[in-house]
Amino acid sequence: MTNEILEQLKAEYPHAVSLNESMQNHTSFRLGGPAAALAIPNTIAELQGILAFCRQHQLPIFVMGNGSNLIVRDGGIRAVVIKISGALSTVVLTEHGIEAEAGISLSALAHAAVEAGLGGLEFAAGIPGSLGGGVIMNAGAYGGEMKDVVAQVMALDYAGQEQYFDNEQLQFGYRQCYLQGRELIIVKVSLHLKEQDPAISRALIADYNQRRRNKQPLQLPSAGSIFKRPPGHYAGQLIEAAGLKGARIGGAEVSPMHAGFIVNVGNATAKDVEGLIHHVQEVVAAKFGVHLETEARLVGEES
């Protein structure tokens, strides 16, 4: 992967591609080293063109959504990072709900559903990820999950070919689905929703958002809940019981407000966050015999 080839990619897609782009600007943790190239396609056709270029030149690819569940190490990502967020955000009403492009935020999609008189997505209104990322992770909150509303997904493989998966084929589980870790990029999602009075939906969203503000450290950069829920336990309760609220390495801190969050209290590095994750895992395992598995994805290279 030479600079000359990356410059050629940027020349072919000047409005979509940037080089040596800091991932601090593209993750909710506000940390991480640079991507060799960052591509934010504006259309599905443009995405197919970028994929074809990468295939032709044998460039490695890393796909991301809104970066809300991502910890990029300080050495960055030596690949073409394809970000499906923001631009690919068209929403169309269908007979049974909504078809939306994968780059729309879950919050914007949930509010679009409310305005259309459709219910079922209220749980997602406060989740800071994209639709595509939400499907990949089977995002959920307050008793709802993406598996409850996803009818079908259209994805592109790295050769740019369309593939379709229905709800059963997606094999949803706790914070996972069949597409996770595969060379497939979600581009469209069909959602099966129910007719509902917008006033009911707005009241639900207001309640969920107030609960988040009361319990979660939303004012500081983070990747949300840093650990998956271990069977029979809650990660935050175990971490708090281990006396780790407020534990800090560098600029990374176990939130005093909610122990399930690690927050960036100022100039944290990915090394700080990763070190604090390992410390929490070791202490909780020693005290309670429970291994905490990360929900956030750690990617990239050490500095």
Give me the amino acid identity at 121.
L
Q: Is 175 a catalytic residue?
A: yes
* Buried residues in 136-146 as b, exposed as e (16+ CB within 10 A): bbbbbbeebbb
Q: What is the pLDDT of residues 215-255, one digit of tens each?
A: 999 999 999 999 999 999 999 999 999 999 999 999 999 99
Return the pLDDT at 87.
Answer: 87
Return the pLDDT at 283.
Answer: 98
CATH 3.30.43.10 placement within the chain: 3-83
What strands lie across the sheet with 34-39, from one edge to the other?
17-22, 34-39, 77-83, 61-64
DSSP letter assigned to residue 228: P
Q: What is the pLDDT of residues 75-90, one digit of tens each?
A: 999 999 999 998 899 9
Q: Which is the catalytic residue, given 28, 225, 253, 274?
A: 225
Q: Which is the catalytic residue, given 101, 175, 190, 274?
A: 175
Predicted structure pTM score:
0.93
Q: What parts of the chain have a pLDDT lower than 50?
A: none
E strand or H helix at 194: strand 194-195
The residue assigned the tokens 């996972």 is: 176
Could you tell me which CATH number the domain at 91-200 has?
Answer: 3.30.465.10
DSSP letter assigned to residue 6: H
Return the pLDDT at 1.
Answer: 72
Return the pLDDT at 2.
Answer: 85
CATH 3.90.78.10 placement within the chain: 218-299
Q: Is 195 a catalytic residue?
A: no
Q: Does domain 3-83 have CATH number 3.30.43.10?
A: yes
Q: Is 225 a catalytic residue?
A: yes
Return the pLDDT at 303.
Answer: 82
Return the pLDDT at 86.
Answer: 83
CATH 3.30.465.10 placement within the chain: 91-200
- Least Cα distance to 230 among 287, 173, 293 occurs for 293
* Fold assignment, 218-299: 3.90.78
Residue 121 CA to chain centroid, in angstroms? 17
For 55, phi then psi, to 5°, come to: -65, -45
Return the pLDDT at 142.
Answer: 93
